[in-house]
Chain A
Amino acid sequence: MDSSPGPRPGATTGTSAARMPTPQLVLVAALIGVPILALMWVSSYAKHDPELWGMPFFYWYQFVWVFVTAILTSIAYRIVATHERRRRRLRAARPDDWRDQ
């Protein structure tokens, strides 16, 4: 089972986290967590300057995060998907371990 008992669902990534090596797990967590933290930190971007094409910082900065988040999430997807494919191949090679977790 890839979750220890406890009220902290964010503790794993919702993938086959138990088998994912720690460095990758940390990386995925960061890729997913950074946009959330950045946008919750409103005081870091609630300002007028610098403007871009007449648009206050507050507005264009959040538009930039739309793209940044999309890129970070797709990198996280690639890492998770690669890992799941590998796990699936391993399991196919050892069918007896189907219920091993």
Chain B
Amino acid sequence: MSAAATTVDHSINGVALTIVILLFLLVTVLGFLSVRWRHTGGGLASLDEWGLGGRSFGTWITWFLLGGDLYTAYTFVAVPAAMFATGAVTGFFAVPYTIVVYPIIFIFMSRLWSVSHSHGFVTPADFVKGRYGSRGLSLAVAVTGILATMPYIALQLVGIQAVLEVLGLGGTGNALAQDLPLFIAFAVLAAYTYSSGLRAPAAIAFVKDTLIYLVILVAIIYLPSKVGGWHHVFDAAGEKFAKVNPATGKPTGSLIPTTAQFWPYATLALGSAMALFMYPHSITAVLSSRSRNVIRRNASILPAYSFLLGLLALLGFIAIAAGTKPIGLDGQPNAQLVVPQLFEDKFPSWFAGIAFAAIAIGALVPAAIMSIAAANLFTRNVYRDFIRQGATEEEEARVSKLTSLVVKLGALVFVFTLDKTLALNFQLLGGVWILQTFPSIVFGLYTRWFHRWALLGGWAVAMVYGTVKAYQQINPATGKHFGSSVGPIEVIGQSGYIALTAFVINVIVAVVLTLVLRALKTPEGTDVTSPEDYRADQGDPRVRDLPQPAAA
């Protein structure tokens, strides 16, 4: 165990900081230049151009974009932190989660792509409105999406903050100086997202993913030998988790799930996987692809990122073996700092700098896509449907660009003024909420059997149930609400992911209400889609507005 691991040094690391700043400048230039990339002419004066990158991305760009989008800085910070703190159930479930997500999207995403291209849908709520002829149901989907996305953007800031803290920036001095680096980073991000739209994160994703792959592979090859091999790593983790936590009277964590943890582990993985592609930013990245098969091809190459995430999770255990002490600038232990601290302790400054830059840039890509997705939802499903019907394409693009600024500003204010645990609680709730749009979107891709108001009823019941259940979970160590996303499952007497329990209730309510509403012959609304829309592909006469690549 090295001396560096046991003392906490919070002076500014000059070499690492310089590298972070240089790489940040590089992606800033890329972000602004990307406005010209794959340009189709006519400026970015429509949501197809600004908000979906011209709907022109092929397999590899989509792979980088989705990878940069789904595997966020928060993931890179939080998953190893959870592994470090309590082990497999709270952390490693991310691996089965990101494995089963791809078979799931393989099933339905190409249908969503086809119907969206046939009708020019930009958001999932657009599809819901077209399918069910219900602005109310569409509004519910849009608002859920925006609510779930906002805290997610705020958590990207938490990821950047973790890096800045370990670098020795922030924390000291007055409030302005403390938050200035984060503020600058976000202002720059807002500026190039405004000018380049989805092309900016798509271009930056190349840099981000290259850096992440490089850093993780080096770390996973180099670090285990340095701390005594994998055997020792797992032994150290097992030893830590076996100790009884005085606050709860139970073991600190688990190296391998016990019988009572099988259900939580499986339901967390399945529920998170079903929820992931309901998030607006995931759907935005899918709809920006050029043909319906791009997403299915990606379902078999995106697992490369899942492998990476698994390795990254194990860094949490390596940090246990290495005796990493993640202590914040306020002197309090903070597990979120564990990965940056591990790099700072174990690597030369220049490599730590690359790792920090990878995490920080890793926050910018998803934050940009999330703000674009939330802005598109607001523009299409709130502004155009309720405030100014008949808005032109130019107007939509203008409103969306402005909204993306507001969304990012909101996230900044959120992180600066409110307790960080609030962002975490909302993120937990966001996962519970977003899964409740699954029936309207995914079932809707296959059948019009469900009644629009039954779907709305199921959604409403599940939203309330999920929120109440999440609130009721008390953290035994701190005594605070929202202590866990796992709670008792009704009827079957096991513990499980609250989002999934709420989802089952959602479906049951929707089925019962559909039967009732049909018996009462309540109007079902107009469906503008037809069966062949769900199979349309690039080049079909029904797929409209497919831009040709410039000067091809």
Interface residue ranges, A against B (CB under 8 Å) = 1-7, 9-16, 32-33, 35-36, 39-43, 46-48, 51, 53-56, 58-59, 62-63, 65-67, 69-74, 76-77, 80-81, 84, 88, 98-99, 101
Contact = CB atoms under 8 A, between A and B. Distances in A.
List 6 A-B pairs, minimum CB-CB distance, nearest first: A54-B231, A54-B230, A74-B300, A39-B96, A42-B262, A73-B300
Contact of A35 (B103, B448, B535): B103
A42 B266 contact: yes
A76 B103 CA distance: 10
Nearest to B450: A7
Interface stretch (B166-174, B192-200, B301-309, B342-350): B301-309
A18 B319 CA distance: 52
A59 B104 CA distance: 22
Interface of B: 88, 92, 95-96, 99-100, 102-104, 106-111, 229-234, 255-259, 261-262, 265-266, 269-270, 293, 296-297, 299-301, 303-304, 306-307, 310, 314, 442-443, 445-450, 507, 510-511, 531-532, 534-535, 537
Nearest to A9: B446
Contacts of B92: 59, 62
Nearest to B449: A5
Contact of B110 (A15, A48, A69): A15
17 contacts: A6-B447, A7-B449, A32-B103, A33-B103, A40-B96, A40-B266, A48-B256, A58-B255, A59-B310, A66-B306, A69-B99, A69-B102, A70-B303, A73-B299, A77-B296, A77-B297, A81-B296
A69 B305 CA distance: 13
A66 B297 contact: no
Given A42-B266, A43-B262, A7 B99 contact: no
Given A6-B447, A14-B108, A42-B265, A69 B103 contact: yes
Nearest to B233: A54
B269 A40 contact: yes
Nearest to B307: A66
Contacts of A9: 108, 442-443, 445-447
A77 B255 contact: no
Contacts of A5: 447-449
B310 A66 contact: yes
